Amino acid sequence: MAIIGKNLETACELLIAGGVVAIPTETVYGLAGNALSEEAVDKIYTTKNRPKNNPLIVHISDINYLQEYVKSIPLAAVKLSEKFWPGPLTMLLPKGSPVIDGVTAGLPNVAVRMPAHPLTLELLNMLPFPLAAPSANPYGYISPTTARHVNKQLGDKIKYILDGGPCREGIESTIVGFDDEMAVIYRKGVITPDDIKKVTGSVKFNQNPEHKHITSGMSPSHYSPKTSVCLTGDINNLNITLPSENIGLLTFKNTFPITSRRKQIALSPKGDLAEAAKNLYEALHKLDSMHLDLIIAEYVPDEGIGIAINDRLIRAAHKIIAEENHINKK
């Protein structure tokens, strides 16, 4: 398994040598490599088993570095970076000449963000290059929010995990591109549409088909446990056809008599959406380790950060229950 530690020099040495290292951010743990190196970027894709048509995000340590890696910066992007960086906002901008095609999957735009984790910012300041870093998990599986998650999933493929503790936000960054000065959301995340609109005056969602990987996080099936997940808005009215002992529940704040309490996880018993986001992936990891036949997940209120939580639940689900009154085992 990988070594877990807080030694920045070790992480730095491995990255300069062309290797990959798991790093903490405020959102999820990332699998990082030199964003300007074809060799390192290829290791990221190979280690994750990530399709090479799915672009990566470039991480920088200072807002002033943005102009080194992009050709142009709209005024709306300047305003957003001043408001939300460092933080869980990624911006999709025309790539500059230093950015290799492997990072953008040959596409004309590069996704850039400045993470808000002090350990990773310090690491970035020690390096002579930015870091490309998708989530540190096998492609399509639940994102990691602790070093333990990373080690369980990729510990046999990487040498070092920089341990920054549990991730503060718990879900991936919001990705925003620009149509002239109009902000366009490509991936829902911690920064909400209302947050963006307050800064730019307007915002819209990307209308392109999601099977086109314009940037990270656009796969229709993603963030998914190995256990089958059914998503519903009404747990009370489900007619379960499986033995209750084989079922786990992932709820917003309540518990239900469908199955034992030890197989139920409420994301936020007090009904706090930010707390629910922070706990989402940890809860999915825990339920997936119980060897269940089925996980029934419940939508959270579709407002604020709940919009992003529901987006992740939809992508994680193997089946979405609308008005059906029963569930069949997958």
What is the reported pLDDT for 243?
60
Residues 6+ positions from 149 with CB-CB distance below 8 Å: 29, 137, 142, 281, 282, 285
Measured CA to CA, the distance from residue 154 to residue 151 in angstroms comes to 5
53 CB-contact burial (10 Å; exposed 0-12 / middle 13-18 / buried 19+): exposed
The pLDDT of residue 319: 79
Q: Which of 295, 254, 255, 304 is nearest to 277 (CA)?
A: 304
For residue 323, how many other CB atoms are within 10 A of its CB? 8
Determine the Cα–Cα distance for residues 282 and 305; give it in Å rounded to an integer. Answer: 17
Domain map of the chain by residue range?
3-205, 229-327
pLDDT of residue 170: 97
Q: Which CATH superfamily hosts domain 3-205?
A: DHBP synthase (3.90.870.10)
pLDDT recorded at residue 328 = 36
Cβ atoms within 10 A of the Cβ of 9, count? 9
CATH superfamily of 229-327: Threonylcarbamoyl-AMP synthase, C-terminal domain (3.40.50.11030)
pLDDT digit of tens for each residue in the chain (330 aa)?
999 999 999 999 999 999 999 999 999 999 999 999 999 999 999 999 999 999 999 999 999 999 999 999 999 999 999 999 999 999 999 999 999 999 999 999 999 999 999 999 999 999 999 999 999 999 999 999 999 999 999 999 999 999 999 999 999 999 999 998 899 999 999 999 999 999 999 999 998 755 567 777 667 678 899 999 999 998 887 766 656 678 999 999 998 888 888 899 999 999 999 999 999 999 999 999 999 999 999 999 999 999 999 999 999 998 777 544 333 333
CB 28 within 8 A of CB 281: yes
